[in-house]
Chain A
């Protein structure tokens, strides 16, 4: 009788332990899907051209990335940072009557999903959904401006 009771107690303890372990891993999963409450966005607006040979020292951290484009000159026109809530919009003014709207979609596995829209006036000419590493960035370039083209550096990180 005593042996049966001991066995029963052991079974209960062990199953409880398994349940806790499985539940804990589930909580971890859920926790990661929910993610942080807000995202910080950093937008850098760069003018790339073949006028002169100037490299803006403020862009030195991106030098190897910008060298891809083989322009002679790179100038940082402006840099903005904004904090935005999930599913909230962050709008950035881009030279040439353009605007960039970034909407964080999802945070999972340390990656941030962003919906990005580039407009000129009321016309949208790019809609994209990009998933990037937390703290990472990507480049969006091409729109003409003055004697060169604009390259936008779009980065996101959790707070």
Chain B
């Protein structure tokens, strides 16, 4: 038992034994040796005093660390690193109290108002382009024939008035021979 390990061997294992890291058999051997060997026992006691002294010295140096102070410093650090828009959202959210859905609805309303307020040329981006197209809102030819058509290539709106019989005949010849869309 204790003959299986000498003092040199025990001293090498003393730290691990003290830390409880030795396996059952090995730990037993060291324990038995310590019971019988005053020199090694003294080493073990020194090790204990070393640990205690270091622990006490560092704890004294540490002093009291108040969590509220620690957290205040940490929280400040976290806050400083957040992007400005996240901080603005945090600031606004508790006061506004709408939550995400509330914000989404409000923003949708504002966006809708904004889009509807845009000039036609920009609104075309959203609703599809109707640019350049002239609209005939009402027409009264007072009994005369009239044709309204749009030239495809240049998108020009044309109102063609058939004001007398001669013009009617001309218009008839033209519409027979040409591709005019009515």
Interface residues of A (CB under 8 A from B): 7, 10-11, 13-14, 18, 21-22, 25-26, 28-29, 32, 64-65, 68-70, 109-111, 113, 118, 120, 123-133, 136-144, 149
Q: Known: A11-B96, A65-B151, A110-B120. Is A126-B142 also a contact (CB below 8 A)? A: yes
CA separation between A25 and B153, bound complex, in Å? 37
Residues of A within 8 A of B139 (CB): 126-129
Give 9 nearest A-B pairs by CB, closest first.
Answer: A10-B95, A142-B161, A109-B120, A25-B113, A132-B134, A138-B157, A28-B117, A129-B137, A110-B120
Residues of A within 8 A of B70 (CB): none
Q: Known: A11-B96, A125-B161, A139-B159. Is A18-B140 also a contact (CB below 8 A)? A: no
- With an 8 Å Cβ cutoff, the count of chain B residues facing the other chain is 49
B136-178 near A? 1/0 per residue, CB < 8 Å: 1111111010100001011011111111101100110010011
Q: Known: A22-B113, A25-B113, A149-B167. Is A125-B142 also a contact (CB below 8 A)? A: yes
Whether, in the assembled complex, B114 has its beta carbon less than 8 Å from a beta carbon of chain A, the answer is yes
Whether, in the assembled complex, B131 has its beta carbon less than 8 Å from a beta carbon of chain A, the answer is yes
Q: DSSP class of B's interface residues: helix, strand, loop or mixed?
A: mixed
Q: Which of B123, B134, B164, B178 sits near A138, CB closer than 8 Å?
A: B134
B140 touches A127 (CB 8 A): yes
B113-124 near A? 1/0 per residue, CB < 8 Å: 110110111010
CA separation between A126 and B167, bound complex, in Å? 15
Residues of A within 8 A of B96 (CB): 10-11, 14
Q: Which of B120, B151, B160 sits near A142, CB closer than 8 Å?
A: B160
User: What is the distance, in angstroms, from B115's C-beta to the closest C-beta of chain A?
Assistant: 10
B106 touches A18 (CB 8 A): yes
B135 touches A144 (CB 8 A): no
Most buried by B among A7, A32, A136: A136
8 contacts between A and B (CB under 8 A): A10-B94, A110-B121, A125-B142, A126-B159, A129-B138, A130-B157, A133-B120, A144-B163
CA separation between A109 and B120, bound complex, in Å? 5
